[in-house]
Every structure is written in structure tokens, then in C-alpha cells.
Amino acid sequence: MSVRKTVMVLYRICLMIFLAMVVFGLVAEPSYPAWVTWVPVAVSLLLVLAAGHRARAAKADPPPAVEVEAPVSGLWTALNSPADRVPSHGIHTYGQTYAIDIVAERREEPVTADGGPVGSADGGAGSARPKFRVLWPLARRNRDFPAFGAPLLAVADGTVVRASDARRDHLSRNSLPGLVYLMVVEASVRDVVGPRAVVGNHVVLDLGGGTYALYAHLRHGSLRVRVGETVRAGQQLAECGNSGNSTEPHVHFQLMDHPDPDVAIGIPFTWRGIGVPANGRTFTAGRAVTEDGGRDPGADRESVADREARVGRGVDADRGSDAGRGAGPASGAVPDSEGDPVRETGPAQPV
């Protein structure tokens, strides 16, 4: 076990001790002063600061952005983008420094990766993304959201190193009571459990050259690949879902330097032909099509060898200010590696 992994395990143990002491204080009369209850919290903050040293150093001198294809096709809107703030989600933990969330505002033409219909259970053409409500409805079904069931595509040639789709898709949290519940209760519990509970169903691809792509919050039972499988750019991996620490069905995408989010440091990315879309920017991700109507995974694709050579030269086609700015409200349930407890604060920002 690495030092950083050990630190994160100790961090969670401290949080569990704190929760146990709180519960004990509610059901019995503690023999220790009340301030002792907060000692594990203070220790956990110090541990996070220690674990985040390498992430802060990487932010001060970020590596070149890695150019990959977009993980989706069609019309999407960016939220929590590293084009507006770094770390984009307010935290460095879980390799999220340069992560991005994207949502589908309207399902104009529901299709799978090979051009077929998604199915009537996932909504019909023209259905719009439900708006945030103050009180009612408290939650919505996932099929009410255009992003739910959308195909997620490999951003480059790679190998599947992690894959999980056993967690359920929960209802949305896009009401004020739902959002409060997520931030105060659910996110904290998920953070104590660990990264798998935070990212939910997920896929991690090894793109080569020490770069890994994480797709989080996948739909339950939607995996099209398995660990050890080699995939091609544009190949469907799974479907967009609403598992883990999420307010609504959306795509959470990030590049990182390790397959385990607990120890990973984020790596800047740029999507070929798109760049890094800023918060609120709507963009269209295209896809090449073969003669039989399928997507051509070889068209307009940078090879892994070419990318490794480019990264080795320190050259990036679309780094500019995109990789150095940052994004919207945070989605994590833990203090960031700089010691500030940050959570999602805007109702329109999925986590």
C-alpha cells in the first residue's frame, strides 16, 4: 500500500471515529470533554493536507493537456469545468483537479453508439432536462433526464483496468431538500465508505503513457466491456447513469495519473475539435460514420504512440488558458487537499 493510500485510509478511520463518538454522545454520557469529539476531525484535515501535497505541486506546474476524443456524441452542456476554475470541483482528492461534468439539455434524437434507438423507457425525442425545483417534486425518475442511457465512448485506444456497474441508479437530487440531503448526509457517508461509493458505477481506461481516463456515475448494468479488454477510440463502454455521489444523470469525466482515484493526481485534458468547454457552454460532439452506419473508431484519432511522443516533447495542441483556469461549484464530500471543506453549492451543478 502506498503512502498516499495509507493516508487516505487513516483519514476515513478518523471520520468513522468521529461519527462513532457523536453517536455515543447522543445515547450516553461521555466521560471525556466535548472538544475531544472534534480531535479526529482535526487529524483528518491534517491527513488530507498531507495527501494533497503532490496535487498542489502539480497544480502549480501542470503537465501538458492530453488531447483525446470526447466521451459522448451529440449536444451537451458543460458544468464544473476546468476552463473556469482549477480544481474544477473544488477539491484535488479522487484525481478531480481537471474533471468535468456534462449534461444533456434535450434529447433530440435518442440513439445508441451504433445509431439505433435507446428505447422508449429512456424517454422520447425532444424531452428536455427538468429544471431545479425549490420544493416539489422532491426527486425525479432518471428517465426524465435526456442524459440517462446516453452512450459513453472510449476517448482513445486503451485497456480497461477497472469496471463496475453493480450499484443502483438513485433518484435525482434536483430539489432543495434533495440537495441538502445529498450534501449533509449522503455525500459524507459516501466519502467515509471510499472512492467507489463516490464515483458509483465507473470505468477506468489505461490510455498509455501513465494516463488513465475515468468515467463516473454509469448506469446500472450498462457495461459493454470488462477488465483486461482492449478498446478502440469511439467504442461504446457503457451508458450515462446516476449512481454514486450525483444529483442527476450526467457524465463525469477526468484524466489522472493512476487507476485508483484515491491516490491519483489529475491530468489536464482537451477534447479534439472542442477544446475544454466552459461552464454553461453547449457543444456538439461529432462522430465518424462508416458505410454501414456504424461509427468509425479510426477516423480523426490520435494514436497512443503519437500522444506519448507529444506529451514527452511537452507539446499540446490546445492547452492555452483552458488548462490553467478552472470551474464551478464542488461536488466532493471531503475537504480539499488545501484544507477547505467544499461541496456543491449550486442547484444547477451536478456532482
CA distance 90 to 278: 15
- pLDDT score, position 235: 94
Backbone φ and ψ for 43, nearest 5 degrees, come out as: -65, -40
pTM beyond cutoff 0.85: no
Please give the angle made by the CA atoms of 339, 341 and 343, to the nearest 5 degrees: 145
CA distance 256 to 204: 10
Residue burial 183-220, b: 16+ Cβ < 10 Å; e: rest: beebbbebbbeebbbbbbbbbbbbbbeebbbbbbbbbb
Contact between residue 211 and residue 205 where contact means Cβ atoms under 8 Å apart: no
Cell triple for 339: 484544507
Contact between residue 68 and residue 87 where contact means Cβ atoms under 8 Å apart: no
CA distance 271 to 78: 12
CA distance 81 to 325: 9
- pLDDT score, position 176: 78
- The alpha-helical segments, DSSP class H, found in the chain are 3-27, 39-51, 53-60, 176-181, 187-193, 195-199, 304-313
Contact between residue 324 and residue 87 where contact means Cβ atoms under 8 Å apart: no
Each residue's pLDDT, cut to its tens digit, for the chain (351 residues) gives 777 778 778 878 888 888 888 888 888 888 888 888 889 888 888 887 776 666 666 666 778 899 999 999 989 999 989 999 888 888 888 888 999 999 988 765 544 444 444 443 444 445 777 677 777 877 678 888 888 999 999 999 999 999 999 998 888 777 777 667 667 777 777 777 778 888 899 999 999 999 999 999 999 999 999 999 999 999 999 999 999 888 889 999 999 999 998 888 899 999 999 999 998 899 988 753 333 334 444 433 333 333 334 334 333 333 333 333 333 333 433 333 333 333 333 334 455
- pLDDT score, position 60: 67
How far lies 67's CA from each of 21, 115, 301, 318, in Å? 48, 25, 10, 8
Backbone φ and ψ for 178, nearest 5 degrees, come out as: -65, -40
| Count of Cβ atoms closer than 10 Å to residue 124 Cβ | 11
Contact between residue 157 and residue 232 where contact means Cβ atoms under 8 Å apart: yes
Model confidence pLDDT, tens digit, residues 44-70: 888 877 766 666 666 667 788 999 999
CA distance 157 to 172: 33
Instruction: Name the burial class of residue 60, with classes exposed (0-12), middle (13-18) and buried (19+) by CB atoms within 10 angstroms of its CB.
Output: exposed
Model confidence pLDDT, tens digit, residues 110-168: 444 444 444 434 444 457 776 777 778 776 788 888 889 999 999 999 999 999 999 98
- pLDDT score, position 56: 64
- Residue 318: which of 150, 69, 71, 101 has the closest Cα? 69
CA distance 29 to 37: 13
Backbone φ and ψ for 350, nearest 5 degrees, come out as: -70, 160
- pLDDT score, position 189: 77
Please give the angle made by the CA atoms of 22, 24 and 26, to the nearest 5 degrees: 75
